[in-house]
Amino acid sequence: MCLAIPVRVEALQEDEMALVDIGGIRKSVSIALVEDVAVGDYVILHVGYALNKIDPEEAERTLALFAEMGELEQIASEAAAQL
Amino acid sequence: MKYVDEFRDGQLAQELAQKIKREVQPGRQYHLMEFCGGHTHAIFRYGIPDLLPPEVKMIHGPGCPVCVLPIVRIDSAIELAMDHGVILCTYGDMMRVPGSRKMSLLKAKAEGADVRMVYSTLDALALARQNPEREVVFFAIGFETTTPPTAMAIQQAERLGIKNFSVFCNHVLTPSAISTILESPEVRELGTLPLDGFVGPAHVSTVIGSQPYEYFAEEYQSPVVIAGFEPLDVLQAILMLVRQINEGRAEVENEFTRAVSRDGNLKAKRIVADTFEMRREFEWRGLGMVPYSGLKIKARFAAFDAEKRFTLKRRSARENKACECPAILRGVKTPRDCKLFGTVCTPENPIGSCMVSSEGACAAHYSYGRYRDHLAADTPSNLIQKSEA
């Protein structure tokens, strides 16, 4: 029920609808609940509606957090030591 | 798939698990409740319990909307379909949930009622337009994620002048359910349900934001980390909770910043506020009557409110006495504690709602966790004895 997925907006359509790509399948969904959706945006799709956009910068930041948490802390402490 | 695969990296999962193991303090227990059914599903599907040290216990909360809907509301939906001759449409996972006397919408359909499964409220609206001579009722359930699409459908029906469409509204609110858990005697008085922190819902929070959880952190001194639904998200959130607990902090942290802000989706919240208002109380399976926990359609949209449009009989409904769903939903018992689990009650023949939805604790445990139980029971010494015998 709550299992929503990220999808890429391929084209904007009439009546606040958009064509999205769901792992290779194209489907028309509503973007009426989200402001300023553009082609190329990733949105979270749930029961036929985009619920929110995915922020690519924040996604990268989260991935960096997983991968380099220890290293990042080291870089930060080194940077602090140089100040 | 972009924004899916990179959050499922097995190597990174192992590393995160190692970090959790290193930071867990010896002799300390970490009881973490994941509120959302999506997390329950992810935790079992990706075998997260196997990666966690024994000090960290995940408790499955009441975050599956199918599981918390009381039988009396399912009976009302079946009554709409069978006695009022409407086209009743709903999301797929509602179809097999048993009401009273093992009746379900799927059985009602087999007996001739016009019950349709829809993927979206848009499909329900389309059905109403295609069948102008019939009454079409959308059986709406769900938390804050499914509520905005229902609100959109009602507003669109009004805009388009669709007269034969109405909604049987069963939308419920996450924060009031969390309050009820924290106020429950199991947590406050008996101490039978220790709760050291919450994994906050992913998609609910994309709509309501992280702000509503600040109250729990402050009032109950309970740390909350909002997390996405991928396995790395869940592990990262567990690590963040372990750190908060170790440091004696109780704050709202957001692991799911790629989709959740403090305020959430303002446009969606506005549409919901325009369309719905709070019910004074609403019944939840497992939690009983919870004040200000459900939504009803505002009087302005009464024409689209199935509860106003049809006279529904309010019968008291009987739960199966042996079914432990209510205790499982409160986190007091686990699926294994239920006599019916995996014997009488299976996903093919569910007795309780926790076995119906794939996000229910019982269904998730049945699909992904029950072989682990057998392995745990067959300890190496048992296996040796068996092979010798």
Q: What is the pLDDT of residues B201-218, one digit of tens each?
A: 999 999 999 999 999 899
**Order of all β-strands in the sheet with B165-171:** B115-117, B87-90, B136-142, B165-171
Residue B26 has pLDDT above 70, yes or no: yes
Q: What is the pLDDT of residues B67-95, one digit of tens each?
A: 899 999 999 999 999 999 999 999 998 99
Predicted local confidence at residue B379, as pLDDT: 42
CATH number of A57's domain? 2.30.30.140
Average pLDDT over residues B258-266: 97
- Share above pLDDT 90 across residues of chain B, in percent, rounded to a whole number: 73
> Could you give the CA distance from residue A6 to residue B198 in angstroms, rounded to a whole number?
24
Residue B107 has pLDDT above 90, yes or no: yes
Give the Cα-Cα-Cα angle B366, B370, B374 (nearest 5 degrees): 160
A72 pLDDT band (50/70/90 cuts)? low
**Residue B250 CB partners (closer than 8 Å, separation 6+):** B217, B218, B220, B221, B222, B223, B244
The two three-digit tokens of residue B335, written as one number: 């699926």
Residues of A whose CB is below 8 A from B207: 51-52
**Residue B253 CB partners (closer than 8 Å, separation 6+):** B223, B224, B225, B226, B240, B244
Predicted local confidence at residue B63, as pLDDT: 86
> Could you give the CA distance from residue B223 to residue A35 in angstroms, rounded to a whole number?
31
Residues of B whose CB is below 8 A from A8: 2
Would you give the end-to-end CA distance of chain B in angstroms? 50
Report CB contact under 8 Å: B91, A47.
Answer: yes
Q: Which residue has the tokens 């009302």?
A: B76
Tell me, what's the ipTM? 0.88
CB contact burial B123-134 (16+ within 10 A = b; e otherwise): bbbebbeeeeee
Q: Which of B32-41, B190-199, B258-267 has the highest mean pLDDT?
A: B258-267
Residues of A whose CB is below 8 A from B160: none
Report CB contact under 8 Å: B119, A47.
Answer: yes
Distance from CA of A45 to the nearest CA of B (A): 10
Residue B340 has pLDDT above 80, yes or no: yes
Residue A70 has pLDDT above 50, yes or no: yes
Look up the pTM and report it: 0.90
CB pairs under 8 A between A and B: 131
Predicted local confidence at residue A69, as pLDDT: 59
Burial of B243: CB neighbours in 10 Å, binned 0-12, 13-18, 19+: middle
How many C-beta neighbours within 10 Å does residue B263 have? 11
Q: Which of B181-190, B242-251, B318-327 has the highest mean pLDDT?
A: B242-251
Indicate the residue type of B140: A
Domain that holds residue A28: 5-82
Question: For chain A, what is the domain count?
Answer: 1
Q: Tell me what the pLDDT averaged over chain A comes to.
A: 86
Residues of B whose CB is below 8 A from A62: 7, 228, 233, 236, 255-258
- Find the closest chain B residue to A33 by CA distance: B268
Distance from CA of B253 to the nearest CA of A (A): 13
> Could you give the CA distance from residue B69 to residue B71 in angstroms, rounded to a whole number?
7
Report CB contact under 8 Å: B93, A1.
Answer: yes
Distance of CA B310 to the CA centre of its chain: 28
How many C-beta neighbours within 10 Å does residue B180 have? 20
Q: Among B38, B122, B267, select the one facing A48 at the smallest CB separation.
A: B122
Contact B252, B240 (CB under 8 A): no
Q: Among A4, A33, A42, select the one facing B267 at the smallest CB separation.
A: A33
Range of weakest confidence among B16-30, B158-172, B270-284, B314-328: B314-328
Residue B332 has pLDDT above 70, yes or no: yes
Q: Among B145, B233, B265, select the one facing A2 at the smallest CB separation.
A: B145
Report CB contact under 8 Å: A1, B229.
Answer: no
Q: Among B15, B36, B152, select the one facing A33 at the smallest CB separation.
A: B152
A82 pLDDT band (50/70/90 cuts)? low
* CA distances from residue B338 to B69, B220, B328, B372 in whole angstroms, order as listed: 19, 30, 9, 17
Beta bridge partners of A19: A11, A28
Predicted local confidence at residue B373, as pLDDT: 66
Predicted local confidence at residue B389, as pLDDT: 36
Contact with chain A for residue B180, Cβ under 8 A: no
Distance from CA of B135 to the nearest CA of A (A): 22
Predicted local confidence at residue A73, as pLDDT: 56
Residue B114 has pLDDT above 90, yes or no: yes
B168 pLDDT band (50/70/90 cuts)? very high
Contact with chain A for residue B274, Cβ under 8 A: no
Q: Tell me what the pLDDT averaged over chain B comes to.
A: 91
Distance from CA of A77 to the nearest CA of B (A): 19
> Could you give the CA distance from residue B147 to residue B264 in angstroms, rounded to a whole number?
14
Among candidate residues A41, A58, A57, the one with its CA nearest the CA of residue A6: A41
> Could you give the CA distance from residue B170 to residue B69 in angstroms, rounded to a whole number?
8
Q: What is the pLDDT of residues B287-313, one digit of tens each?
A: 889 999 999 999 999 999 999 999 998
> Could you give the CA distance from residue B241 to residue B103 in angstroms, rounded to a whole number?
42
Residue A41 has pLDDT above 60, yes or no: yes
More confident position, A68 or A23: A23
Q: Among A8, A51, A66, select the one facing B236 at the smallest CB separation.
A: A66
Residue B151 has pLDDT above 90, yes or no: yes
> Could you give the CA distance from residue A13 to residue A30 in angstroms, rounded to a whole number?
9
Backbone torsions φ then ψ of A21, nearest 5 degrees: -105, 120
More confident position, B372 or B275: B275
Domains of chain B: 69-170+264-305 (3.40.50.11740), 322-368 (no CATH)
